Amino acid sequence: MNNNYMILNEVNLGISKITLDKGALVIYDKAQKYCVSVFIYYNWPDINKIKVGHKAKIDFNEYILSENNEPALILPTQCYVEKITNDSLSFYFSFENMTETIHYMNQRNGFDIVPHSLEIKVLIDYNDAKNGSIIYEY
C-alpha cells in the first residue's frame, strides 16, 4: 500500500492511518496533525457499480480537513474512485484554490498554515476488512 499519499501545499505529509467503514473514509498524516474525512455513506451504490479497470467521478456528501482536530469544510476540484480489482479500490481527491472555498469551523477562523492545495490517493483492499471496517496503520 505504499502508493498512498497526502500532499498539502505541495509537501508530502505521508500517511499514518487510513480507516474505511460504511460511513466514511478517514486519512491521517504521519504527524497526525492533519486529517481528511470523506463521508461516503450515501455513495456505496455508485462505488459498487464501477467495473474493474474503470474510474468514476463521484461527488461525496462532505469533505472535511482537520488541523489539530479543528475542522474545515473543503470542496474537491477532482474526485474519483477506481476499481482496480474485484476486491480493491483507489480513492483520489484533489483540492485546489482552497483559500477561496474553505469554510473553517473553529473560533479563530483559520489554521496554523493557509491551505492552498491538497492531493490524496489511497488504495483499499476489501480483503483487509474486519468487523465491517478496514484500518491501515503505518
The residues near 57 (Cβ < 8 Å, ≥ 6 apart) are 78, 79, 80
> Does the pTM of the predicted model rise above 0.85?
yes
One-letter amino acid for residue 34 of the chain: Y
pLDDT 10s digits, 73-132? 999 999 999 999 999 999 999 999 999 999 999 888 999 999 999 999 999 999 999 998
Residue 1 pLDDT: 42
Ramachandran area for residue 53 (φ above 0: left; ψ -120 to 50: alpha; else beta): left
Q: What is the pLDDT of residues 34-55, one digit of tens each?
A: 999 999 999 999 999 999 999 9
Above 50 in pLDDT, residue 63?
yes
Strand order in the sheet with 134-137: 103-104, 70-73, 62-67, 34-39, 24-28, 17-20, 134-137
Entry field: residues in the chain: 138
For the record, the C-alpha cell of 29 comes out as: 498524516
- How many alpha carbons lie under 13 Å from residue 117 in its C-beta half-sphere? 9
Q: Residue 58, SS3?
A: coil
pLDDT recorded at residue 2: 61
Query: What element of type H or E holds 108?
Result: none
pLDDT at 56 over 50: yes
